[in-house]
Amino acid sequence: MSKKVCVVGSGIIGLGSALRFLRSGHRVTMVSSPSHFMPTSPVSAAFWFPYACSLSLEQEIALAEPTYLFLKECMQSSDTGISLRKGRAYFDETVELAETTTPWWAKLDTNFRHLASTEIPSVLGEDQTVGPIVGGWSFEVPVIQIPTFLTWLQREVVALGGEVKEHRVTSFNEIDDSYDWIVNCTGGWATHLTSDPVLVGFQGTVIELPGEPLGETLLFLEKGKSSNLPTYIVPQGSRTILGGTLKPVTQLGEAWQTGSDGAKQQWVGTDEDVLGIIERCQIVSGKPIPLAPGSSWKSKAGLRPVRSHSPPRIEMDSNSQRMIVHNYGHGGSGVTFFWGSAQAAYDLAQPC
Ligand SMILES: Cc1cc2nc3c(=O)[nH]c(=O)nc-3n(C[C@H](O)[C@H](O)[C@H](O)COP(=O)(O)OP(=O)(O)OC[C@H]3O[C@@H](n4cnc5c(N)ncnc54)[C@H](O)[C@@H]3O)c2cc1C
Protein backbone atom coordinates (compact mmCIF):
# COMPACT_ATOMS: atom_id res chain seq x y z
CA MET A 1 0.00 0.00 0.00
CA SER A 2 1.23 3.50 -0.84
CA LYS A 3 2.68 5.34 2.18
CA LYS A 4 3.32 9.01 2.81
CA VAL A 5 7.00 9.74 3.26
CA CYS A 6 8.73 12.92 4.40
CA VAL A 7 12.40 13.07 3.38
CA VAL A 8 14.30 15.75 5.29
CA GLY A 9 17.27 17.00 3.26
CA SER A 10 17.75 17.39 -0.49
CA GLY A 11 21.44 16.61 -0.93
CA ILE A 12 22.48 13.51 -2.86
CA ILE A 13 21.34 11.26 0.01
CA GLY A 14 17.90 12.91 0.30
CA LEU A 15 17.35 12.93 -3.46
CA GLY A 16 18.39 9.28 -3.77
CA SER A 17 16.11 8.27 -0.90
CA ALA A 18 13.16 10.23 -2.29
CA LEU A 19 13.61 8.63 -5.69
CA ARG A 20 13.88 5.13 -4.23
CA PHE A 21 10.60 5.45 -2.30
CA LEU A 22 8.83 7.07 -5.27
CA ARG A 23 9.92 4.29 -7.61
CA SER A 24 8.04 1.85 -5.37
CA GLY A 25 4.86 3.88 -5.57
CA HIS A 26 5.02 5.82 -2.29
CA ARG A 27 4.13 9.52 -1.98
CA VAL A 28 7.10 11.65 -1.07
CA THR A 29 7.59 15.20 0.17
CA MET A 30 11.20 16.36 0.38
CA VAL A 31 11.89 19.31 2.69
CA SER A 32 15.16 21.15 3.10
CA SER A 33 16.55 24.49 4.10
CA PRO A 34 19.72 25.20 2.15
CA SER A 35 19.82 28.78 3.40
CA HIS A 36 20.21 27.55 6.99
CA PHE A 37 22.14 24.36 6.28
CA MET A 38 24.38 24.62 3.25
CA PRO A 39 24.35 21.34 1.35
CA THR A 40 27.67 19.59 0.85
CA SER A 41 26.64 17.64 -2.22
CA PRO A 42 27.04 20.45 -4.81
CA VAL A 43 30.65 20.94 -3.65
CA SER A 44 31.62 17.30 -4.11
CA ALA A 45 34.37 16.36 -6.57
CA ALA A 46 31.96 13.52 -7.26
CA PHE A 47 33.92 10.58 -8.52
CA TRP A 48 32.88 7.07 -7.54
CA PHE A 49 35.59 5.83 -5.18
CA PRO A 50 35.07 4.44 -1.65
CA TYR A 51 37.16 6.81 0.49
CA ALA A 52 37.58 7.79 4.16
CA CYS A 53 34.84 5.53 5.47
CA SER A 54 34.71 3.27 8.51
CA LEU A 55 32.73 0.38 7.09
CA SER A 56 33.25 -3.35 7.08
CA LEU A 57 33.98 -4.76 3.65
CA GLU A 58 30.43 -6.20 3.46
CA GLN A 59 28.87 -2.85 4.37
CA GLU A 60 31.03 -1.00 1.87
CA ILE A 61 30.08 -3.37 -0.94
CA ALA A 62 26.39 -3.18 0.02
CA LEU A 63 26.42 0.62 -0.35
CA ALA A 64 28.95 1.18 -3.14
CA GLU A 65 28.15 -1.57 -5.63
CA PRO A 66 24.46 -0.70 -6.19
CA THR A 67 25.49 2.94 -6.58
CA TYR A 68 28.09 2.03 -9.18
CA LEU A 69 25.49 0.04 -11.14
CA PHE A 70 22.91 2.82 -10.80
CA LEU A 71 25.36 5.44 -12.08
CA LYS A 72 26.23 3.29 -15.07
CA GLU A 73 22.53 2.86 -15.80
CA CYS A 74 22.03 6.64 -15.55
CA MET A 75 24.79 7.15 -18.11
CA GLN A 76 22.39 5.88 -20.72
CA SER A 77 20.59 9.24 -20.46
CA SER A 78 22.71 11.98 -21.96
CA ASP A 79 21.55 14.65 -19.50
CA THR A 80 22.77 13.16 -16.19
CA GLY A 81 26.29 14.63 -16.30
CA ILE A 82 27.94 11.22 -15.72
CA SER A 83 30.82 9.85 -17.76
CA LEU A 84 33.42 7.15 -17.35
CA ARG A 85 36.97 8.38 -16.78
CA LYS A 86 40.28 6.62 -16.67
CA GLY A 87 41.84 7.28 -13.30
CA ARG A 88 45.00 6.75 -11.32
CA ALA A 89 45.40 6.56 -7.56
CA TYR A 90 48.88 6.93 -6.08
CA PHE A 91 49.84 5.79 -2.58
CA ASP A 92 52.58 7.25 -0.48
CA GLU A 93 54.40 5.35 2.22
CA THR A 94 51.95 6.37 4.96
CA VAL A 95 49.07 4.46 3.38
CA GLU A 96 48.77 1.09 5.04
CA LEU A 97 49.88 -1.76 2.80
CA ALA A 98 46.55 -3.56 3.24
CA GLU A 99 44.81 -0.62 1.58
CA THR A 100 46.98 -0.81 -1.51
CA THR A 101 46.11 -4.43 -2.30
CA THR A 102 43.54 -5.17 -4.99
CA PRO A 103 40.19 -3.64 -3.91
CA TRP A 104 36.91 -5.59 -4.10
CA TRP A 105 35.66 -3.33 -6.87
CA ALA A 106 38.32 -4.65 -9.26
CA LYS A 107 35.70 -7.33 -10.03
CA LEU A 108 33.37 -4.68 -11.46
CA ASP A 109 34.17 -3.64 -15.02
CA THR A 110 36.52 -0.92 -13.78
CA ASN A 111 39.55 -2.04 -15.85
CA PHE A 112 41.48 -2.22 -12.61
CA ARG A 113 45.21 -2.96 -12.52
CA HIS A 114 48.18 -2.12 -10.35
CA LEU A 115 50.57 0.44 -11.82
CA ALA A 116 54.05 -0.73 -12.74
CA SER A 117 56.82 1.20 -11.02
CA THR A 118 57.77 2.72 -14.38
CA GLU A 119 54.30 4.30 -14.58
CA ILE A 120 54.69 6.30 -11.38
CA PRO A 121 56.06 9.76 -12.14
CA SER A 122 59.39 10.04 -10.42
CA VAL A 123 58.82 13.68 -9.52
CA LEU A 124 56.25 12.60 -6.95
CA GLY A 125 58.91 10.77 -5.02
CA GLU A 126 61.24 13.75 -4.85
CA ASP A 127 59.00 16.28 -3.16
CA GLN A 128 58.42 16.37 0.59
CA THR A 129 54.85 17.72 0.21
CA VAL A 130 53.66 14.68 -1.70
CA GLY A 131 55.44 11.38 -1.59
CA PRO A 132 57.48 9.37 -1.84
CA ILE A 133 55.03 7.28 -3.81
CA VAL A 134 55.16 3.55 -3.24
CA GLY A 135 52.49 2.26 -5.59
CA GLY A 136 49.34 2.98 -7.50
CA TRP A 137 46.26 1.76 -9.32
CA SER A 138 44.83 2.35 -12.74
CA PHE A 139 41.05 2.10 -13.16
CA GLU A 140 37.98 3.53 -14.87
CA VAL A 141 35.11 4.89 -12.75
CA PRO A 142 32.02 7.10 -13.11
CA VAL A 143 32.77 10.81 -12.72
CA ILE A 144 29.79 13.03 -12.11
CA GLN A 145 29.27 16.66 -12.99
CA ILE A 146 27.41 17.06 -9.74
CA PRO A 147 25.25 20.18 -10.35
CA THR A 148 23.88 18.50 -13.51
CA PHE A 149 23.24 15.21 -11.74
CA LEU A 150 21.52 16.80 -8.71
CA THR A 151 19.24 18.72 -11.08
CA TRP A 152 18.48 15.51 -12.98
CA LEU A 153 17.66 13.65 -9.76
CA GLN A 154 15.34 16.43 -8.63
CA ARG A 155 13.60 16.34 -12.02
CA GLU A 156 13.09 12.58 -11.64
CA VAL A 157 11.65 13.10 -8.14
CA VAL A 158 9.19 15.72 -9.40
CA ALA A 159 8.31 13.66 -12.49
CA LEU A 160 7.24 10.80 -10.21
CA GLY A 161 4.97 13.12 -8.22
CA GLY A 162 7.43 14.03 -5.45
CA GLU A 163 6.87 17.37 -3.76
CA VAL A 164 9.86 19.61 -3.03
CA LYS A 165 9.54 22.21 -0.27
CA GLU A 166 11.88 24.70 1.33
CA HIS A 167 11.41 24.56 5.08
CA ARG A 168 13.66 24.38 8.12
CA VAL A 169 12.73 21.43 10.32
CA THR A 170 13.43 22.21 13.96
CA SER A 171 12.13 18.91 15.37
CA PHE A 172 10.75 15.67 13.93
CA ASN A 173 7.66 16.25 16.11
CA GLU A 174 6.65 19.21 13.96
CA ILE A 175 6.28 16.94 10.91
CA ASP A 176 2.62 16.27 10.24
CA ASP A 177 1.27 13.01 11.70
CA SER A 178 -0.15 12.08 8.32
CA TYR A 179 3.35 11.03 7.22
CA ASP A 180 3.90 7.31 7.78
CA TRP A 181 7.67 7.50 7.48
CA ILE A 182 10.31 10.18 7.98
CA VAL A 183 13.70 9.69 6.33
CA ASN A 184 16.40 11.82 7.91
CA CYS A 185 18.97 12.83 5.26
CA THR A 186 20.36 15.94 6.94
CA GLY A 187 24.05 15.09 6.43
CA GLY A 188 26.49 16.98 8.64
CA TRP A 189 23.63 18.92 10.27
CA ALA A 190 21.85 15.89 11.70
CA THR A 191 22.67 16.74 15.32
CA HIS A 192 20.19 19.64 15.14
CA LEU A 193 17.49 16.95 15.02
CA THR A 194 18.90 13.86 16.69
CA SER A 195 21.59 13.08 19.18
CA ASP A 196 24.72 11.59 17.63
CA PRO A 197 27.93 11.85 19.65
CA VAL A 198 30.14 10.58 16.81
CA LEU A 199 29.04 12.96 14.04
CA VAL A 200 31.92 15.39 13.64
CA GLY A 201 32.21 16.85 10.15
CA PHE A 202 35.32 17.80 8.24
CA GLN A 203 35.68 20.69 5.86
CA GLY A 204 36.67 19.88 2.30
CA THR A 205 37.80 22.48 -0.21
CA VAL A 206 37.89 22.24 -3.98
CA ILE A 207 38.76 24.61 -6.79
CA GLU A 208 36.44 24.64 -9.79
CA LEU A 209 38.16 25.50 -13.04
CA PRO A 210 35.68 26.04 -15.89
CA GLY A 211 36.46 25.29 -19.52
CA GLU A 212 38.18 22.48 -21.39
CA PRO A 213 39.10 19.81 -18.79
CA LEU A 214 42.76 19.62 -17.74
CA GLY A 215 43.85 16.32 -19.27
CA GLU A 216 41.93 13.10 -19.72
CA THR A 217 42.80 11.23 -16.55
CA LEU A 218 41.48 11.55 -13.03
CA LEU A 219 44.42 11.66 -10.60
CA PHE A 220 44.04 10.93 -6.91
CA LEU A 221 46.68 10.92 -4.22
CA GLU A 222 45.51 9.75 -0.83
CA LYS A 223 48.24 11.35 1.20
CA GLY A 224 48.61 9.52 4.52
CA LYS A 225 45.90 9.41 7.12
CA SER A 226 47.49 12.00 9.39
CA SER A 227 48.41 14.70 6.90
CA ASN A 228 44.84 15.59 5.88
CA LEU A 229 45.87 16.49 2.37
CA PRO A 230 44.11 14.32 -0.19
CA THR A 231 45.00 15.63 -3.66
CA TYR A 232 42.90 15.15 -6.76
CA ILE A 233 42.40 16.42 -10.27
CA VAL A 234 39.02 15.47 -11.67
CA PRO A 235 38.37 16.35 -15.32
CA GLN A 236 34.62 16.61 -16.00
CA GLY A 237 32.44 17.65 -18.95
CA SER A 238 33.15 21.37 -19.05
CA ARG A 239 35.31 21.89 -15.99
CA THR A 240 38.04 20.46 -13.80
CA ILE A 241 37.79 20.02 -10.04
CA LEU A 242 41.03 20.34 -8.07
CA GLY A 243 41.23 19.28 -4.45
CA GLY A 244 41.43 19.05 -1.59
CA THR A 245 41.53 19.48 2.15
CA LEU A 246 40.21 17.60 5.16
CA LYS A 247 40.01 19.94 8.17
CA PRO A 248 38.22 19.57 11.48
CA VAL A 249 35.03 21.59 11.51
CA THR A 250 36.19 24.07 14.11
CA GLN A 251 38.09 25.83 11.34
CA LEU A 252 35.02 26.26 9.15
CA GLY A 253 33.83 29.65 10.38
CA GLU A 254 36.55 31.54 8.56
CA ALA A 255 35.51 30.27 5.18
CA TRP A 256 32.19 32.04 4.42
CA GLN A 257 31.98 34.19 1.32
CA THR A 258 29.76 37.23 1.75
CA GLY A 259 27.46 38.61 -0.96
CA SER A 260 27.04 42.32 -1.75
CA ASP A 261 24.07 42.43 0.68
CA GLY A 262 26.27 41.08 3.47
CA ALA A 263 24.52 37.69 3.45
CA LYS A 264 26.63 34.57 3.80
CA GLN A 265 26.62 32.69 0.52
CA GLN A 266 29.06 29.87 0.06
CA TRP A 267 31.88 28.43 2.03
CA VAL A 268 35.17 28.95 0.28
CA GLY A 269 38.67 27.74 0.98
CA THR A 270 41.17 30.05 2.65
CA ASP A 271 44.04 31.46 0.54
CA GLU A 272 46.30 28.93 2.21
CA ASP A 273 43.96 26.07 1.20
CA VAL A 274 43.84 27.28 -2.40
CA LEU A 275 47.59 27.75 -2.75
CA GLY A 276 48.25 24.36 -1.17
CA ILE A 277 45.81 22.63 -3.55
CA ILE A 278 47.39 24.25 -6.60
CA GLU A 279 50.88 23.39 -5.47
CA ARG A 280 50.05 19.73 -4.80
CA CYS A 281 48.00 19.34 -8.01
CA GLN A 282 50.92 20.70 -10.02
CA ILE A 283 53.25 18.17 -8.46
CA VAL A 284 50.85 15.26 -8.95
CA SER A 285 50.08 16.12 -12.57
CA GLY A 286 53.59 17.31 -13.42
CA LYS A 287 52.02 20.32 -15.20
CA PRO A 288 51.36 23.95 -14.33
CA ILE A 289 47.77 24.67 -13.28
CA PRO A 290 46.54 27.72 -15.21
CA LEU A 291 44.79 29.79 -12.50
CA ALA A 292 45.38 33.23 -13.97
CA PRO A 293 44.32 36.17 -11.77
CA GLY A 294 40.90 37.34 -12.90
CA SER A 295 40.04 34.05 -14.61
CA SER A 296 36.77 32.49 -13.57
CA TRP A 297 37.99 29.78 -11.20
CA LYS A 298 36.38 29.64 -7.77
CA SER A 299 36.98 27.80 -4.57
CA LYS A 300 34.20 26.08 -2.65
CA ALA A 301 34.13 24.36 0.68
CA GLY A 302 31.68 21.88 2.16
CA LEU A 303 31.13 19.86 5.29
CA ARG A 304 31.92 16.15 4.96
CA PRO A 305 29.44 14.45 7.31
CA VAL A 306 31.98 12.20 9.01
CA ARG A 307 31.00 9.83 11.84
CA SER A 308 34.17 9.29 13.79
CA HIS A 309 35.36 5.67 13.37
CA SER A 310 31.75 4.73 12.59
CA PRO A 311 29.78 3.86 9.46
CA PRO A 312 26.99 6.05 8.07
CA ARG A 313 23.91 5.91 10.29
CA ILE A 314 21.33 3.96 8.32
CA GLU A 315 18.91 2.66 10.92
CA MET A 316 15.43 2.96 12.40
CA ASP A 317 15.21 5.36 15.34
CA SER A 318 14.24 3.15 18.23
CA ASN A 319 13.74 6.11 20.60
CA SER A 320 10.98 7.78 18.66
CA GLN A 321 7.23 7.16 18.50
CA ARG A 322 7.44 8.12 14.83
CA MET A 323 8.80 5.85 12.10
CA ILE A 324 12.11 7.60 11.48
CA VAL A 325 14.78 6.06 9.28
CA HIS A 326 18.14 7.81 9.60
CA ASN A 327 20.29 8.00 6.50
CA TYR A 328 23.23 10.34 7.07
CA GLY A 329 26.93 10.46 7.95
CA HIS A 330 28.48 9.33 4.64
CA GLY A 331 31.76 11.19 5.16
CA GLY A 332 33.87 11.46 2.01
CA SER A 333 31.85 8.87 0.09
CA GLY A 334 28.25 10.11 -0.08
CA VAL A 335 28.23 10.15 -3.87
CA THR A 336 29.78 6.68 -3.96
CA PHE A 337 27.22 5.29 -1.52
CA PHE A 338 24.00 7.19 -2.14
CA TRP A 339 21.95 4.66 -4.09
CA GLY A 340 22.98 1.70 -1.92
CA SER A 341 22.08 3.82 1.12
CA ALA A 342 18.70 4.72 -0.35
CA GLN A 343 18.03 1.02 -0.90
CA ALA A 344 19.10 0.21 2.68
CA ALA A 345 16.85 2.95 4.12
CA TYR A 346 13.97 1.70 1.98
CA ASP A 347 14.47 -1.89 3.13
CA LEU A 348 14.43 -0.77 6.79
CA ALA A 349 11.10 1.03 6.34
CA GLN A 350 9.39 -1.91 4.62
CA PRO A 351 8.54 -4.19 7.56
CA CYS A 352 6.95 -1.31 9.49
C1 LIG B 1 35.33 18.81 -1.07
C2 LIG B 1 34.53 17.54 -1.06
C3 LIG B 1 34.74 16.60 -2.05
C4 LIG B 1 34.01 15.41 -2.05
N5 LIG B 1 34.21 14.51 -3.05
C6 LIG B 1 33.53 13.34 -3.06
C7 LIG B 1 33.72 12.39 -4.12
O8 LIG B 1 34.49 12.62 -5.05
N9 LIG B 1 33.01 11.24 -4.07
C10 LIG B 1 32.13 10.94 -3.06
O11 LIG B 1 31.54 9.87 -3.05
N12 LIG B 1 31.90 11.84 -2.06
C13 LIG B 1 32.58 13.02 -2.03
N14 LIG B 1 32.39 13.92 -1.02
C15 LIG B 1 31.46 13.59 0.05
C16 LIG B 1 30.02 13.88 -0.35
O17 LIG B 1 29.96 15.15 -0.97
C18 LIG B 1 29.11 13.84 0.90
O19 LIG B 1 29.25 12.60 1.55
C20 LIG B 1 27.65 14.00 0.47
O21 LIG B 1 27.49 15.15 -0.31
C22 LIG B 1 26.74 14.08 1.68
O23 LIG B 1 25.43 14.22 1.18
P24 LIG B 1 24.18 14.49 2.11
O25 LIG B 1 22.97 14.50 1.23
O26 LIG B 1 24.21 13.57 3.27
O27 LIG B 1 24.45 15.93 2.74
P28 LIG B 1 24.15 17.39 2.15
O29 LIG B 1 24.44 17.47 0.70
O30 LIG B 1 24.85 18.34 3.05
O31 LIG B 1 22.59 17.54 2.31
C32 LIG B 1 21.98 17.75 3.57
C33 LIG B 1 20.63 18.38 3.32
O34 LIG B 1 19.89 18.48 4.54
C35 LIG B 1 19.33 19.79 4.65
N36 LIG B 1 19.10 20.02 6.07
C37 LIG B 1 19.95 19.77 7.09
N38 LIG B 1 19.33 20.02 8.27
C39 LIG B 1 18.07 20.44 7.96
C40 LIG B 1 16.95 20.85 8.75
N41 LIG B 1 16.99 20.85 10.08
N42 LIG B 1 15.81 21.24 8.11
C43 LIG B 1 15.75 21.21 6.75
N44 LIG B 1 16.79 20.83 5.96
C45 LIG B 1 17.92 20.44 6.57
C46 LIG B 1 20.35 20.68 3.96
O47 LIG B 1 19.81 21.92 3.61
C48 LIG B 1 20.68 19.79 2.75
O49 LIG B 1 19.67 19.91 1.78
C50 LIG B 1 33.07 15.14 -1.02
C51 LIG B 1 32.85 16.10 -0.03
C52 LIG B 1 33.56 17.31 -0.05
C53 LIG B 1 33.28 18.33 1.00
Domain ranges of the chain: 4-349
Name the strands in the sheet holding 324-328, side by side, starting at the edge strand that comes first in the sequence: 163-166, 27-32, 4-8, 181-184, 324-328, 313-316
- Indicate if ligand 1 lies below 6 Å from the C-beta of 13: yes
Q: Pick the closest to residue 144 from 33, 38, 15 (CA basis).
A: 15
Confidence of residue 225 (pLDDT cuts 50, 70, 90): low
pLDDT at 86 over 90: yes
Q: Which pLDDT score, from 0 to 100, does residue 100 have?
A: 79
Q: Assess if CATH 1.20.1260.10 describes domain 4-349.
A: no
Q: 267 alpha carbon to ligand 1 midpoint, in Å?
A: 13
Q: Which pLDDT score, from 0 to 100, does residue 54 have?
A: 85
Q: State the Cα–Cα distance between residues 186 and 327, nearest whole angstrom.
A: 8
Q: 268 alpha carbon to ligand 1 midpoint, in Å?
A: 15
Q: Which pLDDT score, from 0 to 100, does residue 254 have?
A: 47
- 307-344 b/e (C-beta count within 10 Å ≥ 16 → b): beebbbbbebbeeeeebbbbbbbbbbbbbbbbbbbbbb
To test ligand 1's pocket by mutation, which of 8, 29, 41 has the most ligand atoms within 8 angstroms of CB?
41
- Indicate if ligand 1 lies below 6 Å from the C-beta of 327: no
How many helices and strands in the chain, by DSSP H and E? 7, 17
Q: Pick the closest to residue 325 from 9, 39, 1 (CA basis).
A: 9
Q: Please give the backbone phi and psi of residue 2, each rounded to the nearest 5 degrees, phi first.
A: -65, 130
Question: How far is it between the farthest Cα atoms of the chain?
Answer: 63
Q: 97 alpha carbon to ligand 1 midpoint, in Å?
A: 30
- Indicate if ligand 1 lies below 6 Å from the C-beta of 246: no
To test ligand 1's pocket by mutation, which of 20, 189, 246 has the most ligand atoms within 8 angstroms of CB?
189
Q: Which pLDDT score, from 0 to 100, does residue 286 have?
A: 85
User: Tens of pLDDT along 234-274?
Assistant: 999 889 999 998 887 754 444 555 556 655 567 888 888 89
- 97 compared with 305, residue with greater pLDDT: 305
> What average pLDDT does range 153-171 have in this prediction?
97
Q: Which pLDDT score, from 0 to 100, does residue 288 have?
A: 87
Q: State the Cα–Cα distance between residues 338 and 66, nearest whole angstrom.
A: 9
**In this structure, are residues 241 and 206 in contact, taking their beta carbons and an 8 Å threshold?**
yes
Taking the model in full, what pTM does it have?
A: 0.94
Q: 305 alpha carbon to ligand 1 midpoint, in Å?
A: 7
- Indicate if ligand 1 lies below 6 Å from the C-beta of 11: yes
Radius of gyration of the chain (CA): 20
Q: 130 alpha carbon to ligand 1 midpoint, in Å?
A: 28
Q: 199 alpha carbon to ligand 1 midpoint, in Å?
A: 13
Q: 166 alpha carbon to ligand 1 midpoint, in Å?
A: 16
> What average pLDDT does range 88-112 have in this prediction?
86
> What average pLDDT does range 288-312 have in this prediction?
85
Q: State the Cα–Cα distance between residues 64 and 57, nearest whole angstrom.
A: 10
- Indicate if ligand 1 lies below 6 Å from the C-beta of 202: no
pLDDT at 131 over 70: no
